[in-house]
Structure 1
């Protein structure tokens, strides 16, 4: 092999980001072949992982299947349940005593993607009396009724309704670690990195550790979380803060047991708007993960804990709330020289749409698919990767901000500040102006790797009651018979699924006991 060939890849940091990256690289680069790239992961035995991200996107099913994981085993080992989307409670208006409003952002429209036929203008013109999320998809109603997205007879990873998972992030990291080291040929070193060494080109060439063993590599992946040992400390890549756009910079998290083993498990994340942020409520197999993401500029830690405990009720008694500071933003470069940052070392946006694990998957897949086996390729791939992920993160930030900046809530300074035009990115402002007189179309999403697509925007816009005035343009929407047929088809599908699908708890219990059929 030429000295210019990249043969040794070193990943610094475990957790979900590190072990998922190792799994994707090892699988796609066929690292069990001695002629391929060899991967070493070094993880600190003393630094705990963040371990809060309990939501995923449907892409994780393809990833788990690709790296050779059995779905039933994964679910049992990681306390996993099914996720069909998110329900947003009290985001639209200031809540009144005893009254709530909610809408769903399901994981897909199942039958009818708006890319193929956009039902939004027909719904806006009154073709369906149902709320937008119920009119255009079965999944919102299925989730609301506590039903599962598939049956026990549905094969592994196959879906009747699109789904991802809620999971225990700490157990998931350990599960991946075992799989990657036992079956995918990744070498594991338990050590703390004490020094990062650069060569004359300012590329990383070796790491010193506290076990008196230097780790030599040709390419390095920084998955060291907010410490950013490589990309930040060693390579001095700066941080672009977004706290002027997204205000939530702190989280409190609690693990809440179920009252009994028959307690229903929600198959969606419940995100409830609060006075200075929002609470998440995620149902795992054996407990709920509940937390409050909030802006420290708009409330105190003490008040935040009061709000969280009030949301949970008496079940919160005796449970400690774990405080997690959040550094919102992204690296000014994700890739520099022979080092790429993936996970929290690269970027972090509050967990509103559970995008963190998806963007780890996306980064690891792009790294694997464009892997520069020769050092002369580094410059091109670095430029391409940085451009792609700058766009991905900017578009993710736009979508997260959308949930806040079109809300009609005005009961606290937090909500009033969120609709201040100075806090809204120009790219989002332009779209919102366009959408006042025309619903979003597929042409508004022209980037091949948009994290959030047309359907997602439609669910949030019209779930929050955004006003699109079609009075001057009504005549162009003349496919009423097609629209009515599609609305009817969705209703019929929903009724059939209500009759056929088990409850989420019933399916989870069967999966843990019997497992799915293998494909």
Structure 2
């Protein structure tokens, strides 16, 4: 007898739970026989420090039917156009580069990296191929008030207040998408003979049965670890940072400029994030407790912030870098912190929720009989994505020239570098990453362009055979001229970031 999959039970709220609920419910809206139930403890606070996103969130929110104006107004959101990494290469005060969200000019037609390398000019790689670094330097927004919701003149993501984002998603999911919300604490998990979860038993709402259970219970991992006993795979031998100290810092003035990029500033044993949203900055120190004490790390954080940190408390969060050995087992799939966590260097937490929920929603098994096939595909894709994110985060560390502390010296040890990344670094000494090189998966988490921005932002050298560039010389010259013209046009026409936010608050963006 075929067992249909109709009742989806998401255990745990927060950003992961409600985003997953919204993505699944929006995809299956209109199915009379299909239900999405979210069970959320009224007594467990959310982590609430995931403030950075990827451009994918624009598509996700749009497909969920969310108004971008409402989202910006209610979640204290601002625009994010990439990240600036300061003091990662040499540690000098003028050491910095951008990883923007725009691709290099004409990226699908010509690889500009070898042409830039051959020039040996004074212009940074980012400025030579992309307008976004200059846009960020000038404090500009990625669009104007006349640009429609979710449309962009320069590619963008968001910075947001995580404490406001989850309740905003909850209201939308319940009011617009028909998600059933059950505030209740899980007491026990009831299993079937075949190893599936049959139901969860709650204190306030009794027993809740389901066909597919999504574990969004955060670090507790009540279902995937507690019930399904899936082990956790550490990667702290690659990524050393295991603690974060977070602060919320008010602006000096109501009209203070809002940075439209994340600022990541390297420290003696880690780095500090600086994220500007509408009413405050979220600032935190991510560090290795094996290389610096909590007290010294907090002193570095307070020194970075300055007098504005006086009287503010730092919230300490432990980081266990790694992920589940299996993400989907039986009829249980882990999403969000239950699946794993990595330091927030490239804001990968929320996008992993989006990508996982999208696969679940689009490849929803029609019956239990095919669920294991879907699960195997999900696991293969998700394992690949986690591995590539670990590689990319490590790339920022292995390219450093800093030798001023054990932390930086340890990060370039050969035994801490993943095999795939080590092989790629060897390859890239002789050929620059290109858009058809090693990055051919659907929805690759980091395209070749991202590797180029970090490699050449941090002074990596690729040998270039100048004689081999003649074939694309005309295309490259034209692309760089087009980039220079686009940079001038955007820098002249885009509004200041805070000015656009204030106009959105007052008038709203043009609805799609």
Same fold (TM over 0.5): yes
Cα distance in 1 for residues equivalent to 2:462 and 2:511: 47
Match of 1:34 in 2: 32
**Cα offset, 1:108, TM superposition:** 1.4
Match of 2:3 in 1: 4
Cα distance in 1 for residues equivalent to 2:405 and 2:79: 34
Q: Are 2:136 and 1:136 aligned?
A: no
Cα distance in 1 for residues equivalent to 2:265 and 2:280: 18
Cα distance in 2 for residues equivalent to 1:84 and 1:110: 14
Cα distance in 1 for residues equivalent to 2:448 and 2:68: 29
User: 4+ residue runs of structure 1 moved beyond 6 angstroms?
Assistant: none
Q: Is the 8 A contact 2:198 2:210 kept in 1?
A: yes
Q: Are 2:190 and 1:193 aligned?
A: no
Match of 1:308 in 2: 301
Aligned positions of 1:1-150 closer than 5 A = 4-30=3-29, 32-35=30-33, 37-95=34-92, 99-109=93-103, 111-113=105-107, 115-126=108-119, 128-150=121-143
Aligned positions of 1:346-365 closer than 5 A = 346-365=339-358
State the Cα deviation string for residues 407-463 of structure 1 (Å, max 9, x = none). 111110000000001000000000000111111122221323321011100000000
Q: Is the 8 A contact 2:182 2:205 kept in 1?
A: no
Stretches of structure 2 that go unaligned for 5 or more consecutive residues are none
Q: Are 2:473 and 1:474 aligned?
A: no
Stretches of structure 1 that go unaligned for 5 or more consecutive residues are none
**Cα offset, 1:488, TM superposition:** 1.5
**Cα offset, 1:3, TM superposition:** 6.3
State the Cα deviation string for residues 336-393 of structure 1 (Å, max 9, x = none). 0000000010011110000111110000000111111201011101111111111010
Cα distance in 1 for residues equivalent to 2:444 and 2:223: 28
**Cα offset, 1:127, TM superposition:** 6.7
**Cα offset, 1:100, TM superposition:** 2.1
Q: Are 2:441 and 1:443 aligned?
A: no
Aligned positions of 1:336-485 closer than 5 A = 336-441=329-434, 442-470=436-464, 473-478=465-470, 479-485=472-478
Query: Which of 502, 508, 511 matches 1:509?
Result: 502
Cα distance in 2 for residues equivalent to 1:143 and 1:34: 47
SS in structure 2 at match of 1:51: coil
State the Cα deviation string for residues 42-95 of structure 1 (Å, max 9, x = none). 001111111101000001001111100110110010000000000000011032
Q: Is the 8 A contact 2:184 2:205 kept in 1?
A: no
Per the normalisation by structure 1, the TM-score is 0.97
Cα distance in 1 for residues equivalent to 2:104 and 2:50: 26
CA RMSD of aligned residues (A): 1.1
**Cα offset, 1:110, TM superposition:** 6.2
Q: Is the 8 A contact 1:392 1:449 kept in 2?
A: no
Q: Is the 8 A contact 1:6 1:373 kept in 2?
A: yes
Aligned positions of 1:281-296 closer than 5 A = 281-296=274-289
Q: Is the 8 A contact 1:58 1:162 kept in 2?
A: yes
Cα distance in 2 for residues equivalent to 1:374 and 1:156: 37
In the alignment of these two chains, the number of paired residues is 510
Cα distance in 2 for residues equivalent to 1:371 and 1:179: 22
SS in structure 2 at match of 1:477: helix
